[in-house]
Amino acid sequence: MSLALKSNPIAPSHVYHPAPCRSTRRLSAVVCFSVRPASATSSLGVSRAANEEEKAARIGSLGQVSGVLGSQWGDEGKGKLVDILAPHFDIVARCQGGANAGHTIYNAEGKKFALHLVPSGILNEETLCLIGNGVVVHLPGLFKEIDGLEANGVSCTGRILVSDRAHLLFDFHQVVDGLREAELSKSFIGTTKRGIGPCYSSKVIRNGIRVGDLRHMDTFPQKLDLLLSDAASRFEGLNYGPEMLKEEVERYKRFAERLEPFIVDTVHVMNESISQKKKILVEGGQATMLDIDFGTYPFVTSSSPSAGGICTGLGIAPRVIGDLIGVVKAYTTRVGSGPFPTEILGKGGDLLRFAGQEFGTTTGRPRRCGWLDIVALRYCCQINGFSSLNLTKLDVLSDLPVIELGVAYKHPDGTPIKSFPSDLRLLEQLKVEYEVLPGWKCDISSVRSYSDLPKAARQYVERIEELVGVPIHYIGVGPGRDALIYK
């Protein structure tokens, strides 16, 4: 390999070049139309059959307790993989986060479902969905989600369990979230304003209210009064008084009655299920680069979306965890504030955003877009110990004449940076070294066998595997359930 400045708009594969200032990077694309030859059409059935065989082998080899986790800044497409894997598992469990997670899935008829608290296994009628102790639960949102599923023919009766140890997220937490962001002004985090951070704050300072407290409505008013009074003393914009407390108590009496059939000791359920050899799939919310410890702090979420959050969020031992699948988009996106080394600014970022329909499931906010960051991905793989990766949205790159990979970081003085740094100032100033690969410039959305992908697309996949040292076993080429290649 050779080092060179990018001078040709279509550079050869495996040529590195230093990144110019990110504000000047642009993404160019060409529009192409592809026609599948008759021979390819006739072999489509064979390819699909081969893909089904590979699917059975891949899914069948997954461990008893497996997990699907995000390996960028979220929005990678975790829900789709969970939905596909769910029929092969007895339980799908959420271990952290709350309604700030937005998982978009499609049923067999192509109907779209946007889930936030309910695990993405809900569309498979044989799957039990479990909300673990590490999740913060907004009951109005949960019931709205359940009602929406039921109205669309998805039965939730007896299929959703909620941990008695999970913390309740109240409407006032959402108000506080907005007030806190307003206080931060130009240094705002860019939260979803769903109250996640304030709820976890209540949990950590030990005045939070748990789901199990709804079973003791004699002491619930006092606990809620303490919680609301504390928040009101901190934020002048929160108007709290006796009438508000009375209304909330009455409201939660009704919620408690409705929720009672869902409440269980999920720690017991999980460990009993493991001893009974039932198969469990853990669905992560957000992603490792948003982890409270390992992400771009403070521009992170308030929980641990990395592998460690599985044990603390479900009450299971590390030794029982088998395969962990990291979900990574074929490029990189993030929502909210914070450093983003490979971000494409200007019209180039807009082009990728609209091609990939990069708008938040939870908020509708436009996502920031950039090239795939190998340094960040390798860092996520190290933290989580992924056994394999799911590369999503490969089809979105189909029209690009060239594709870039951010393969290395350098200090402003030219010194190589060996890992993903914690220093935000350094992250904002570092230089990204890019590798330019040829594009394939044709539609791949109907491809179902890895061998049928264009050579350039396979080169891209295999180069990512080589750089991060983790195999890519699942490749997304469209939003539908069947638009997945098993490698």
Contacts of 152 (CB under 8 A, 6+ apart): 111, 113
Contact (Cβ atoms closer than 8 angstroms) between residue 332 and residue 373: yes
Contact (Cβ atoms closer than 8 angstroms) between residue 403 and residue 365: no
d(CA 306, CA 310): 8
Q: What is the dihedral of CA 309, 312, 318, 321, to 10 degrees?
A: -60
Residues labelled catalytic? 75, 103
Cβ density class 458-479: b for 16+ within 10 Å, e for less: bbbbebbbebbebebbbbbbbb
CA 253 to chain centroid: 33
Contact (Cβ atoms closer than 8 angstroms) between residue 91 and residue 125: no
Contact (Cβ atoms closer than 8 angstroms) between residue 28 and residue 47: no
One-letter amino acid of 149: L
Indicate the pairing of strand 65-70 with strand 280-283: parallel
d(CA 403, CA 435): 8
